[in-house]
């Protein structure tokens, strides 16, 4: 009898120790946010590309070409000889930033001469790093960057707004191998 009572007590302990079973969620997961984000980004990109194309149509001084990296460029003061910057080269350059209304936002003298190691450092304007690799020492170029190659969703907090495409004039001063 004592053995039966003991076995019943132990089995009740095992049964009582089982926790509650988890329920499966009733709602379905959806990718609504992701789909809306993709739609918004496509709209922003096409709107900015339209603004840039309108700017190009008005600019009779420069001939622009679209790069495969998502921006437009026009190189002037071109050099027949020389090489392009490669990874690990030290590059010195100056630049100035304009709105697409040709308003000067940041003059060259306020930004000073910049130096960076190609492909090893991040720059404030992502497009400059990619654009400089298309230039030779002593050349100047006009770049038209959509916001995703410039200051993007946040702007610079001062003169460049949210999702604002910009025009940047860059002069490549020196390439040090």
pLDDT tens string 92-125: 999 999 999 999 999 998 888 999 999 998 888 9
Pinpoint the alpha helices (H) of the chain. Answer: 2-17, 32-58, 108-111, 126-132
In-domain check, residue 21 = no
Q: Does residue 169 fall inside a structural domain?
A: yes
The whole-angstrom separation of Cα 49 and Cα 64 is 13
> Is there a contact between 141 and 67 (Cβ–Cβ < 8 Å)?
no
Helices (H), 23-177: 32-58, 108-111, 126-132
CATH of the domain at 126: 3.10.50.40
Per-residue pLDDT reduced to its tens digit, 40-72: 889 999 999 999 999 999 998 999 999 999 999
The answer to whether 89 and 175 have CB atoms below 8 angstroms apart is yes
- Is 130 contained in some domain? yes
Round to whole Å and give the CA distance between 84 and 119: 13
Question: Is 14 inside a domain boundary?
Answer: no
How far is residue 162's CA from residue 6's CA, in Å, rounded to a whole number? 74
In a domain, 144, yes or no: yes
With respect to residue 131, please indicate whether it lies within any of the assigned structural domains: yes
User: What is the signed CA dihedral for 176, 126, 46, 39, rounded to 10 degrees?
Assistant: 140
Domain interval for residue 139: 66-176
52: tokens are 């840039």
Regarding pTM above 0.85, the answer is no
Kindly state whether residue 151 falls inside one of the protein's structural domains.
yes
Q: How many domains does the chain have?
A: 1
The answer to the question of residue 19 being in a domain is no
């Amino acid at each position: 009898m004592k053995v039966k009572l003991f076995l019943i007590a132990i089995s009740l302990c095992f049964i009582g120790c089982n926790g509650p079973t988890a329920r499966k969620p009733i709602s379905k997961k959806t990718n609504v946010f992701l789909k809306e984000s993709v739609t918004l980004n496509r709209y922003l990109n096409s709107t900015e590309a339209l603004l840039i194309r309108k700017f190009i149509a008005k600019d009779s001084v420069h001939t622009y070409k679209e790069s495969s990296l998502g921006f437009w460029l026009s190189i002037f003061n071109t050099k027949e000889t020389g090489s392009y910057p490669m990874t690990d080269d030290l590059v010195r350059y100056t630049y100035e930033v304009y709105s697409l209304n040709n308003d000067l936002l940041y003059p060259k003298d306020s930004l000073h001469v910049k130096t960076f190691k190609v492909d090893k450092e991040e720059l404030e304007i992502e497009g400059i790093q990619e654009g400089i690799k298309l230039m030779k020492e002593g050349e100047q170029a006009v770049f038209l960057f959509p916001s995703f190659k410039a200051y993007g969703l946040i702007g610079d907090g001062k003169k460049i707004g949210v999702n604002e495409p910009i025009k940047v004039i860059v002069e490549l001063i020196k390439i040090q191998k």
